[in-house]
Amino acid sequence: MSRKAKISGLEKIAAIENYLRGEDSLNHIAISLGVSHSSAKQWLQVYHSLGPNGLHSSSRNIAYSAELKVVAVRDYLSGGGSHMEICKRYGIKSTRQLRNWILKYNGHEELKASGTGGTPIMTKGRATTYDERVEIVRFCIEHQHDYAQTAERNFRYPTNKSTHGRINT
């Protein structure tokens, strides 16, 4: 998915600063730039949370530490403010991000640092036959869709194939 913005960061900054000076409404800004009202509201939130630089397009996601996530979630849950206020206080770009952390926290999941990169599951590809793919899928389903375990399993077959794509045994 492309990260190229339809509206440049400079246009967003100018529009939000016009709004903050009382020179324009969010609704008019959205209509004139051809975006939804919720997009203009999101720009305003980002401007408040991260300042004008937060509105520039980036090719990378923002990385948040596990400690910041926990502190922000606990602050919200203890009544420290609305989603928007917590985002402003901790420099979180999106209330959606904060809400996702709250759901994980309340579900007793560990809030991990972001931007550290996940463990790649499938790093090396190789050619497989139809029968190999069927067996791999069967294994994955039988093991509750554990993709990491499936990827770790070494599915090796003889390279001697019949003319119908099946493996001679």
Are the C-beta atoms of residues 73 and 105 closer than 8 Å to each other? yes
Considering the entire predicted model, what is its pTM? 0.54
Q: How confident is the model at residue 8 (pLDDT cuts 50, 70, 90)?
A: confident
- pLDDT tops 80 at residue 98: yes
Q: How confident is the model at residue 115 (pLDDT cuts 50, 70, 90)?
A: low
Q: Which pLDDT does position 70 carry in this prediction?
A: 93
Average of per-residue pLDDT values in the chain: 80
Q: CB-side exposure of 64: number of CA atoms within 13 Å?
A: 19
Question: CA angle, 59 as apex, 57 and 65 as ends, to 5°?
Answer: 100
Which range is least confidently modeled, 16-25, 89-98, 152-161? Answer: 152-161
Give the relative orientation of helices 26-33 and 9-20 as an angle to the nearest 10 degrees. 150
Q: For residue 159, give Cα distances in angstroms to 12, 45, 129, 132, 156.
A: 58, 58, 10, 11, 9
Spatial separation of the C-alpha atoms in residues 70 and 88, rounded to whole Å: 16
Q: What is the pLDDT of residues 131-165, one digit of tens each?
A: 888 888 898 888 887 777 777 777 665 544 444 44
Chain CA centroid to CA 25, Å: 30
Mean pLDDT of 26-43: 90
Q: Which pLDDT does position 163 carry in this prediction?
A: 41
